[in-house]
Chain A
Amino acid sequence: MSGNKKTFVITRFDPDRDEAPRQQSYEIEVDPRWKVLDALNHIKDEVDPTLSHRWSCRMAVCGSCGMMVDGKPSLTCKDSLANHGDTVEVAPLANFPIIRDLVVELEGFLDKLKQVKPWIIRAKERAVEEGTHRQSPAEHQEFKQFSMCINCMLCYSACPVVANEPDFLGPAAIALGHRYNLDSRDEGDAERQEIFRGEGTVFSCSYANECSEVCPKNVDPAAAVNQAKFRAVIDWATSFVVPRGGEG
């Protein structure tokens, strides 16, 4: 094989024709500067237009092009071909139902995301004429890391708990809920903590830490999940000292 050729072993699945996913190989000329996504786009454009995959921004912002590359969750627009050998295996994200080829079902994630109420909750909305909510740089810094998530789902495809416990809210959703709990403008902490204490939430996490290892934006969802776990324990313990509704 010449230095500019690579074989791509790609998972294919056509719900109208295939009983189960299968693999198909494509040997193509590649530019060494390409990312994995460039190779997939080349295959779709020049070799096999039936190949289905998601992508959009090509700059690690939209989070659409997450796939398993050589068995690991990867944002394909960020993953250089130079990091891989002569044969590159591309599969849909693990732990997700497969709609077609490399395209997975994301509705289940959106269901989980809604549960953590990922928006600013105020006990009483401030009137417009009172101006914007002010926040210091230090307050912003407390949650900034967790707001960098692009919902690429790599963390879900790396998590062994997601693979085994369907009710688990999962890393990105919990990280986003935790992000709002840390936001000085938010007053929905108690509501979310109630959700975090429930079945299939923060206490399902066994801290494999894989979500943080694969995160392409260094969000560190494992830290968020376990900080939320820590908070839930402290809230539970302090509830014996300061009952709900009491002045803390």
Chain B
Amino acid sequence: MARPAHPDAMKSSRPSPTRMAPPQMPPQYPMGGRYRAYTLFDATGFVYLLVGLLALRVVWALGNGPGAWAQLQAELQNPVYVAFHLLALLSVLFVGVRFFRLFPKAQPPRIGPAKPPPQPVILGGLYAAWLGVTLLMAAILSGGLL
């Protein structure tokens, strides 16, 4: 049997004349079937939380002089940090691909008099923008634009 859902899920606002069994969760939720991808998508939020904390650590090091900055850079060479950044990259790629797949159909058929372009065009535009931003960031980080 599946796990119980929230006891008030789909409950009527009126009292029932008969005793009812409480609602059950979808049996495959959270890690079976297609729910697995959705759960992993949600779980990437934890990775972004850690990335945010690490960003704060970077800001703190920047504000505490060359010694703190050098120490942080040395720490970031640690294989644990490298593995974490690989995980963060995979998380971003996973979320990006999922978001891009679902985003086009979330466009209303019209906004006032304006109509969105066809879904394949939106999808292509998203990937083109992603590629463009990635190339721009790579150029900046490699010193090519500075």
Contacts and interface: CB of A to CB of B under 8 A. Distances in A.
Contacts of B109: 142, 182, 227
Nearest to A159: B26
Contact of B25 (A11, A95, A105): A95
A158 interface: yes
Nearest to B106: A226
Interface residues of B, number: 40
B10 A165 contact: no
Given A71-B28, A227-B108, A21 B1 contact: yes
B35 A208 contact: yes
A72 to B, nearest CB: 7
Main secondary structure of the interface of B (DSSP, over half): loop
A interface residue count range (under 10 / 10 to 19 / 20 to 34 / 35 or more): 35 or more
B105 A73 contact: no
A226 B102 contact: yes
Interface in B1-37: 1-2, 5-6, 8-14, 16, 18-30, 32-35
Interface string B41-70: 010000000000000000000000000000
Contacts, number: 143
Contacts of B130: none
A105 B5 contact: no
Contacts of B8: 166
Interface in B95-118: 102, 105-112
B84 interface: no
A206 B11 CA distance: 21
Interface of A: 11, 13, 15-16, 18, 20-21, 23, 68, 71-73, 91, 94-99, 104-105, 107-109, 111, 142, 156-158, 160, 162-166, 182, 206-210, 213, 220, 222-223, 226-227, 229-231, 234, 248
Interface of B: 1-2, 5-6, 8-14, 16, 18-30, 32-35, 38, 42, 102, 105-112
Given A107-B16, A160-B38, 15 more contacts: A11-B1, A15-B18, A15-B21, A23-B1, A71-B27, A95-B5, A95-B25, A97-B11, A97-B16, A97-B21, A105-B10, A105-B20, A108-B9, A213-B34, A227-B106
